[in-house]
């Protein structure tokens, strides 16, 4: 993607013309072997061949992988590092930083580096090798020569026994199990699955797609492919193209989550998690990672590509990268007929409910949540509910509301689809990244009005969202169906076997204000053994202002804490049709959800 031509570049100023010599990249090849998979060691051989060898070669292991915004320190799994020339003569090397190895080449034009990577963690951003399969993320396995991220390379995989190989990288013609990458951005964007996976191929818009599945479960692969085809077709309708030659879905039936790549995705799901509505939950994950083909992988927020693999890449736009993508999960599922309009709107109501019950919405804006992802999102603690919002969850909700603003402002002629299309045509295809200012300006262009108040309050700011002022424009309203006032403690509890523990404490609740702590173990209430069901029922029989005595273990010490119970009428939100909608509201609703307003 980001090619660099070796050679020289002229640099001119008003005084003189000089010639700046750029380092010529080596020819690079990797071999990944797994002769003893039960040891969890992936064995890597890296060969570097220079036309003019430098005195020292510096090799670098990335510290993170794009799409997962946390420094993961992949170098901690490297062991048995060794370097030699082509004749097998050992070369001196040293660690210079936590993730860099420096080798004295002694003028050798070809050097051979070997190391092992301990691989026993199955997530979409790490590596796993065992006697059942191998899954590896190249950023967590393969080093790059310093200053040569734009160099091409090949990867040969020596699979265990008769295991098969799946990756989005193209094969090298005439070479068995060997694949090529134009540069390290593409290499690091191409995960591998190696094993005895099930595989099905299908064609959408004339382009080949594959689903490979490792593990047994209650999934229906034919149904998954049918629904995936619908998802791809609906995505195609938005952009008018599929910007790849082929696409690979890798599904491991353990864990959960997904990670996007240019022409592939790595997915994980519970092996028994496909019955009933859980199938649609899985398809929501498929939509999310597939929509990233455009949003993030090609429509790139400011700093997200080309990447710095050794440091944090800060951006305020993860709410667009992930939140808008999360919004399109339900949009595309509804357009594809996989979920109903009611399910779409019920999902939005549930998101509003979750946000409104989170005190952190007043502490962190969407831009702040995006920027601080590196230190907060993947490291949430018991107080996160009080000081953070998710750029996924609130980002999805604000994207829904932004779509509504654009549709209402343009009287149904434009939508968030048009923002995505504009970004594709004017930024992605011109190899430009977009800024927060660009995103607001494009949204305003589509809406035909200023959206400064919207972005200032709900993107850059922490204001309470005025839902109905926005939803009315598309013929919808938010209803708060509050129940009667009930007594409550306010602690979020976790039952683990016989242990009842406080998981978190939202601010301004009786539990928070009167001295309970996260991780307190509740042993008894008013002298009676407590579990989650009993405690809930017991409190439900009390009146607001009644006192209860909780016996807890805190740091293994037994103590009693008296709590005065509070009262609340809990909100139960629904998103429904506006009362007495106008003809314009009906028309915009129709263009929005392809259904009549009832």
Q: Which two tokens stand for residue 179?
A: 């694949």
Secondary structure of 352-390 as H, E, C letters: HHHHHCCHHHHCCCHHHHHHHHHCCHHHCCCCHHHHCCC
Residue 17: pLDDT above 70?
A: no
What distance in Å separates the CA atoms of residue 194 and residue 163, rounded to the nearest whole number?
A: 6
Cross-strand pairs, 60: 100, 144
Weakest mean pLDDT among 12-21, 344-353, 397-406, 433-442: 12-21
Q: What is the pLDDT of residue 549?
A: 98
Q: Are 381 and 334 in contact (CB under 8 A)?
A: no
Dist CA 539 CA 566 (whole Å): 10
For residue 10, what pLDDT is reported?
36
Calpha distance 151→38 (Å, rounded): 33
Angle between helices 416-426 and 221-239 (to 10 degrees): 70
Residue 8 has pLDDT above 50, yes or no: no
Q: In this predicted structure, which of 1-15, 162-176, 226-240, 360-374 has the lowest mean pLDDT?
A: 1-15
With a cut of 80, say whether residue 23 has pLDDT above it.
no
Average pLDDT over residues 144-152: 97
The CATH T-level fold of domain 27-195 is: Immunoglobulin-like (2.60.40)
- Whether the per-residue pLDDT at 398 is higher than 60: the answer is yes
Average pLDDT over residues 3-27: 52
Res 67 pLDDT > 90 = yes
Strand ranges of the sheet holding 164-167, from the earlier edge strand across to the other edge: 128-129, 133-136, 192-195, 164-167
Which tens digits make up the pLDDT trace of 160-179? 999 999 999 999 999 999 99
The structure tokens 């996924």 sit at 392
**Residues forming a β-bridge with 549:** 562
- Specify the long-range contacts of residues 588-591, CB closer than 8 Å, at least 24 apart: 588/407, 588/408, 588/411, 588/412, 588/473, 588/474, 588/475, 589/474, 589/475, 589/476, 590/412, 591/407, 591/412, 591/415
pLDDT at 21: 57
Mean pLDDT score, 141-151: 97
pLDDT of amino acid 90: 98
Token reading at 410: 């343009």
Average pLDDT, the chain: 95
CA–CA gap between residue 277 and residue 113 (Å, rounded): 49
Q: Do domains 27-195 and 486-568 have the same CATH topology?
A: no
Task: State whether the Cα torsion 463-472-316-249 is positive or negative.
Answer: positive
Q: At what angle do helices 325-335 and 277-291 cross, to 10 degrees?
A: 120
Q: Does position 51 have pLDDT exceeding 80, yes or no?
A: yes
pLDDT attached to residue 6 = 34
What pLDDT is recorded for position 598? Answer: 80
Under 8 Å between Cβ of 200 and 225:
yes
Cβ–Cβ < 8 Å for 502, 491: yes
Which residue do the tokens 């008296």 mark? Answer: 562
- Tokens standing for residue 145: 């020569």
In contact, 259 and 265? CB cutoff 8 Å: yes
Any idea which architecture 486-568 has in CATH?
A: Roll (2.30)
CA 338 to chain centre: 23
Strand partners, 459: none
**CB 309, CB 63: distance < 8 Å:** yes
What is the DSSP pairing of strand 247-252 with strand 207-214? Answer: parallel
User: pTM, whole model, 2 decimals?
Assistant: 0.93
Residue 233 in contact with residue 88, Cβ under 8 Å?
Answer: no
Q: In this predicted model, what pLDDT tens digit does every residue of 470-522 receive, in sequence order?
A: 999 999 999 999 889 999 999 999 999 999 999 999 999 999 999 999 999 99
| For residue 16, pLDDT beyond 80 | no
The beta-strand segments (E) located in 497-597 are 499-504, 521-525, 528-529, 547-554, 557-564, 566-568, 573-577
CA angle 372, 378, 384 (to 5 degrees): 75
Per-residue pLDDT tens digits for 549-587: 999 999 999 999 999 999 999 899 999 999 999 999 999
**364 contacts 318 by C-beta, under 8 angstroms:** no
Closest listed residue to residue 52, CA positions, set 22, 88, 11 = 22
CATH fold for the domain made of 320-481+574-593 = Neutral Protease; domain 2 (1.10.390)
Mean pLDDT is lowest, of 9-23, 112-126, 260-274, 283-297, for: 9-23
Q: Are strands 128-129 and 133-136 parallel, antiparallel or unpaired?
A: antiparallel
The CATH fold of domain 198-276 = Zincin-like (3.30.2010)
End-to-end CA distance of the chain: 49
How do 492-496 and 144-145 pair as beta strands? Answer: unpaired
Question: Cis bond leading into 306, ω under 30°?
Answer: yes
Residue-level pLDDT at 5: 33
- Nearest one of 71, 69, 65, 64 to 392, comparing CA atoms: 69
Per residue in 248-303, pLDDT tens? 999 999 999 999 999 999 999 999 999 999 999 999 999 999 999 999 999 999 99
Specify whether the CB–CB gap between 473 and 466 falls below 8 A.
no
CB 324 within 8 A of CB 416: yes
Environment class of 38 (CB within 10 Å of its CB; exposed 0-12, middle 13-18, buried 19+): exposed
Domain boundaries, the chain: 27-195, 198-276, 320-481+574-593, 486-568
pLDDT band at 1 (very low <50, low <70, confident <90, very high): very low
Cα 259 from Cα 245, distance rounded (Å)? 19
- Beta partners for 488? 566
pLDDT at 395 over 70: yes
Please state, in angstroms and rounded to a whole number, the distance separating the CA atoms of residues 161 and 565.
64
Which residue is associated with the tokens 């094993």? 195
CB 560, CB 551: distance < 8 Å: yes
The proportion of the chain whose per-residue pLDDT surpasses 90, expressed as a percent, equals: 95
């Amino acid at each position: 993607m980001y090619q660099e031509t070796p050679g020289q570049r002229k640099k001119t100023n008003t005084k003189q013309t000089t010639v700046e010599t750029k380092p010529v990249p080596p020819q690079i090849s990797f071999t990944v072997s797994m002769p003893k998979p039960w040891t969890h060691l992936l064995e890597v051989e890296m060969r570097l061949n220079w036309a003019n060898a430098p005195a020292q070669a510096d090799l670098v292991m990335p510290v993170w992988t794009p799409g997962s915004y946390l420094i993961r320190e992949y170098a901690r799994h490297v062991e048995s590092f060794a370097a030699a020339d082509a004749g097998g003569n050992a070369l001196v090397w040293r660690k210079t930083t936590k993730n860099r190895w420096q080798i004295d080449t002694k003028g050798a034009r070809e050097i051979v580096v070997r190391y092992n990577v301990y691989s026993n963690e199955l997530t979409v951003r790490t590596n796993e090798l065992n006697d059942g399969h191998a899954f590896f993320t190249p950023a967590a396995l393969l080093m790059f020569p310093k200053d040569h991220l734009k160099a091409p390379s090949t990867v040969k995989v020596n699979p265990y026994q008769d295991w098969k190989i799946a990756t989005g990288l193209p094969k090298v013609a005439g070479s068995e199990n060997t694949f090529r990458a134009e540069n390290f951005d593409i290499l690091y964007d191409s995960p591998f699955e190696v094993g005895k996976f099930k595989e099905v191929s299908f064609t959408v818009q004339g382009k080949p797609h594959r689903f490979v599945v490792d593990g047994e479960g209650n999934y229906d692969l034919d149904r998954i492919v049918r629904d995936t085809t619908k998802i791809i077709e609906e995505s195609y309708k938005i952009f008018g193209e599929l910007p790849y030659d082929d696409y690979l879905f890798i599904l491991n039936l353990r864990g959960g989550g997904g990670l996007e790549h240019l022409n592939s995705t790595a997915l994980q799901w519970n092996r028994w998690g496909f019955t009933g509505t859980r199938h649609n939950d899985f398809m929501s994950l498929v939509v999310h990672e597939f929509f990233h083909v455009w949003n993030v992988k090609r429509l790139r927020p400011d700093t997200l590509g080309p990447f710095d693999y050794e440091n944090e890449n800060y951006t305020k736009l993860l709410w667009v990268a992930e939140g808008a993508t999360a919004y399109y999960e339900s949009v595309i599922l509804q357009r594809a007929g996989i979920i109903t309009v009611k399910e779409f709107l019920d999902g939005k109501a549930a998101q509003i409910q979750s946000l409104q019950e989170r005190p952190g919405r007043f502490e962190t804006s969407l831009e702040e949540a995006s920027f601080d992802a590196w230190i907060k999102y993947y490291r949430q603690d018991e107080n996160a509910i009080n000081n953070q919002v998710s750029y996924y969850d609130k980002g999805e909700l604000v994207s829904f509301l932004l779509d509504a603003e654009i549709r209402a402002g343009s009287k149904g002629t434009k939508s968030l689809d048009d923002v995505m299309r504009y970004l594709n045509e004017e930024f992605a295809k011109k190899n430009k990244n977009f800024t927060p200012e660009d995103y607001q300006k494009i949204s305003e262009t589509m809406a035909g009005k200023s959206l400064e108040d919207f972005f200032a309050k709900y993107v850059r700011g922490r204001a309470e969202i005025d839902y109905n002022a926005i939803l009315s424009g598309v013929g919808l309203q938010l209803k708060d169906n509050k129940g009667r006032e009930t007594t409550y403690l306010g602690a979020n509890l976790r039952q683990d076997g016989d242990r009842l523990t406080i998981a978190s404490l939202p601010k301004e609740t009786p539990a928070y204000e009167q001295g309970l702590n996260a991780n307190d173990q509740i042993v008894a209430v008013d002298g009676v053994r407590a579990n989650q069901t009993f405690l809930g029922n017991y409190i439900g029989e009390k009146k607001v202002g009644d006192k209860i005595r909780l016996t807890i273990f805190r740091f293994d010490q037994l103590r009693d804490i008296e709590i005065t119970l509070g009262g609340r009428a809990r909100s139960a939100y629904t998103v429904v049709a506006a009362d007495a909608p106008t003809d314009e509201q009906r028309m915009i609703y129709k263009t929005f959800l392809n259904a009549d307003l009832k």
